[in-house]
Chains A and B, each alone.
Chain A
Amino acid sequence: MKKSLDENKPIFLQIKEQLEDSIINGNINSGERVPSTNEFAAYYKINPATAAKGINELVAEEILVKRRGVGMFVTEDAKGILIEKRKKTFYEHYMLPLKEEARKLRIKETELMEMVKREDAADEN
Chain B
Amino acid sequence: MKIEVKGLTKRYKDNYALNNVSFTLDGPKIYGLLGRNGAGKTTFMDILSGQILASNGKIEIDGEEPFDNQKLTESICLIKEGHNFKKDLKVKNVLKVYSFFYPKWDQELADKLIKEYNLNLNSKVKTLSKGMESALGIIVGLSSKAPITIFDEPYIGLDAAARKKFYEIMLEEYEAEKRIIIFSTHLIDEVSLLFEEVLILQEGSLVLMEEADMLRNSTCAVSGTIEEVEAFISGKEVIEKKQLAGMMTAYVYSSIQEAKMHGLNAEGVPIQELMIYLTERKKGA
Cβ of A71 to closest chain B Cβ, rounded Å:
15
Are A5 and B193 in touch, CB under 8 angstroms?
yes
Residue among B172, B193, B267 with the most chain A CB within 10 A?
B193
Interface of A is mostly: helix
Stretch in A47-55, A62-70, A76-84 touching the partner = A47-55
Are B195 and A47 in touch, CB under 8 angstroms?
yes
Are B196 and A7 in touch, CB under 8 angstroms?
no
Of residues 27 through 44 on chain A, the ones whose CB sits less than 8 Å from some CB of chain B are 38, 41-42, 44
Stretch in A8-16, A17-25, A107-115 touching the partner = A8-16
Contacts of B192 in A (CB 8 A): 7
Contact with A along B158-174 (1 / 0, CB 8 A): 00000000011001101
Are B175 and A8 in touch, CB under 8 angstroms?
no
Assembled-state Cα–Cα distance A90/B193 (Å) = 29
Contact with B along A89-111 (1 / 0, CB 8 A): 00000000000100000000000
Are A47 and B193 in touch, CB under 8 angstroms?
yes
Residue B271 CB within 8 A of the other chain: yes
A13, A45, A50, A100: the one contacting B212 at CB < 8 Å is: A50
B213, B256, B263: the one contacting A11 at CB < 8 Å is: B213
Are A45 and B213 in touch, CB under 8 angstroms?
no
Residue among B167, B194, B270 with the most chain A CB within 10 A?
B194
Residue of A nearest to B266 (CB): A8
Contacts of B194 in A (CB 8 A): 45-47
Residue B88 CB within 8 A of the other chain: no
Contacts of A46 in B (CB 8 A): 193-194
Are B30 and A47 in touch, CB under 8 angstroms?
yes
Residue of A nearest to B257 (CB): A92
Contacts of A53 in B (CB 8 A): 213
Are B268 and A48 in touch, CB under 8 angstroms?
no
Contacts of A44 in B (CB 8 A): 193
Assembled-state Cα–Cα distance A48/B195 (Å) = 10
Are A48 and B216 in touch, CB under 8 angstroms?
no
Cβ of B141 to closest chain A Cβ, rounded Å:
18
Assembled-state Cα–Cα distance A73/B225 (Å) = 47
Chain A interface residues (CB < 8 Å from chain B): 5-13, 38, 41-42, 44-50, 53, 100
